[in-house]
Structures are given as C-alpha cells and as structure tokens.
A and B are shown apart, each in its own frame.
Chain A
Amino acid sequence: MAESMQWWLYPKFKPFIDGRGDAYSVEFWKTEYLPVVEVRPDWEKILAKYDVLGVLLAIPNDRKLPRLAGTLHEHSDWALVAYNDHTLLFCGARPPIRTSSPAMNFA
C-alpha cells in the first residue's frame, strides 16, 4: 500500500529514505533523517550535504503540520509550491528553481 515515490517518479527523483526503517542504520536515523524532520540546528547543513532542493512532507491524520513544514514556510530560501490534503511540496529558492507563482492547490 505504502511508498509510491519509486513507482511514480524514479529515476527522475530518487528517494532520500523509504519505509523500511530497519534498512537504515540507527546512526543514519539519528544523524541524517531525524535532525531534518525535527528541525534540529544542523538541518540545513544536512540538506545542503545531499544537495536537496525539494522537500516532500506528509500531513499526518491528526492534521497537525510537521514542524519542518512550518520552518520551511517561514524560511526565505524555501517556498511551498504544491499541496493537497495530505502532502506538501517545498522547493528551494536556489537554481534550478522553478516557479514564482502561487502554490498549486490540489486539495
């Protein structure tokens, strides 16, 4: 049921992580994934390390926006470019960036 990015988007977009938590080391979780999701002080460095220019976030069922979404929304280098009821897509303001038009609303 889960995890569709590979099916739809590969190889144009490669996933950063997939749904098998145990396939990644605890170290990876602690130093790469969770610091970004939880917006720890080095989150920007980690995204820069992997040259990440887009962030695809899920809105949980309780509708509480992820902390990273709020941070990206207020950050001058990032923009919300598309969203629906369950997903948010942010893109970085660095080249090769895309659009200055309002976010696409698919909700």
Chain B
Amino acid sequence: MQFINPNGAKVLLVPVTQFGSKFWRSIIQEYQPPAWAGYKLFFLTLAGMGLLQALTWRRVQPKLLIASAGMGYLACTSQRSILFFVIVAMPHAAYMLDKLVPLVNEKMRRLQLLLLPVAWCALVMLMFVPDKTFVFGPGFYRPYYPSEIYKFLETEVPSQNLFNDMRYGGKHAVVAVSEIQTIH
C-alpha cells in the first residue's frame, strides 16, 4: 500500500477519522451549516422546492419528497451535503414542474422546449456572467490562483518565509513533488 501511496493505508480512514473528530468538524468549513450570505441560491432553491411541492401537493410522489426532504435537512446542517441534495432534488423538481404545467395551462407544454434554452440563457446572463468568484469561461479559479499577487511576489518581493492561508499551500502528498518542503 505504501508503494502506491506514501501515507499508507491510513489515508483510507481519513474521512472516517475526520468525521468522528470534534476538532476537525469544528474547523472544516464543509461540515458547517450554510449561511445565507454565501448560499443564497441554495436557500432560494429550497424555498422554490417547497413552493412547487405545495402547488402540486395532490400529485405528491412520496419517495421523491422523502429523499428531497431528507437531503435538504442534511444540506442545511452541512455544506458538504448540498451537492447530494441537488442530485436528489433536481429529478424531484423536474417531476413537480411536469405536474404543475397542466394545472397552469395545457398550452405551456408546447412551450417547454422553447423555455429551456431561454431559461439557460437567463441563468448564464444573470448568474454566471456577473459572478466575480466563478468567472465565466476558461481560466484560473481566482480565489485559489491569485496570479497577479504571485507575479508581484515573484518580481517585487525577495525570497522569505510566508505565512499563507491553507488554500494556497499546495498538496505535498504527490510523489513527484515529495521533495517540496514547508518552512517548518
């Protein structure tokens, strides 16, 4: 095992040991509940799901509802579960929208094919393009690759010890760069 991974078999137990540790759970952000400031879209999705379910209550699908409600609860308690909530909730939302359309207007069904690209375009223009964190298009993810700052460091600042936020550090576990050292 150590031939494949220098950390040995213990690496397989990391998720379990981390989850079982109060300390790790207290400092790992993904284990914290989502806050409105950073997760507006998630909370709006939850509210939208609730509204859709209320509107289509007569045709409720218990399996989908239970799965969405369960994962929704977990997502509200831990950011790490939001992805799994989305995976479960989207088919549920699609089912409810399908049941909602006849209630609103039968003719709406014919517009579904047209509405899809319009909805995607609106999503791109209103959500993705203005987003300064997840910049639309190819390129570095700026919160983790502050290239201007790195260029400044390279050209203007003499070599010295830096204290860095852990997101900038780099993974030392890769065998190919195992010679890389930290400052301590």
Contacts and interface: CB of A to CB of B under 8 A. Distances in A.
24 contacts: A5-B170, A8-B147, A13-B160, A15-B164, A15-B170, A15-B182, A16-B184, A19-B171, A23-B173, A26-B21, A29-B27, A51-B160, A52-B161, A53-B161, A54-B160, A56-B162, A56-B165, A59-B143, A85-B142, A86-B142, A87-B143, A87-B146, A104-B152, A106-B148
A77 interface: no
Contacts of A40: none
A1 B144 contact: yes
Contacts of A32: 184
B161 A5 contact: no
A39 interface: no
Contact of B38 (A53, A55, A61, A85): A61
Interface of B: 7, 14, 17-18, 21, 23-24, 27-28, 35, 37-38, 132-133, 140-150, 152-154, 156-173, 177, 180-184
B161 A14 contact: yes
Contact of A98 (B157, B165, B170): B157
Given A6-B172, A15-B164, A19-B166, 4 more contacts: A4-B144, A6-B171, A19-B170, A22-B14
B163 A52 contact: yes
A93 interface: no
Contacts of B140: 4
Overall SS of chain B's interface: loop
A58 B133 CA distance: 12
Nearest to B141: A1
Contacts of B27: 21, 29, 34
B7 to A, nearest CB: 8
A54 B163 contact: yes
A15 B160 contact: no
A15 B169 contact: yes
A18 B171 contact: yes
Nearest to B158: A96
B18 A22 contact: yes
Contacts of A19: 166-167, 169-171
